[in-house]
Amino acid sequence: MRAKDIILGESYRHRDHPNYGWARAIKVLPQKKDENTLNKIVVRCEWSVDKDSALSITKYFLPRDLTNAKE
Instruction: Kindly report the three-state secondary structure assignment for every residue of 30-56.
Output: CCCCCCCCCCCCEEEEEEECCCCCCCC
pLDDT in tens, 17-47: 899 999 999 999 999 988 899 999 999 999 9
> Which structural domain, as residue segments, surrounds residue 7?
3-66
Q: Would residue 71 count as lying in a domain?
A: no
Q: Would residue 55 count as lying in a domain?
A: yes
Q: How many domains does the chain have?
A: 1
pTM of the predicted model over 0.85: yes
Q: Would residue 37 count as lying in a domain?
A: yes
The band of 5, judged by pLDDT with boundaries at 50, 70 and 90, is very high
Q: Would residue 38 count as lying in a domain?
A: yes
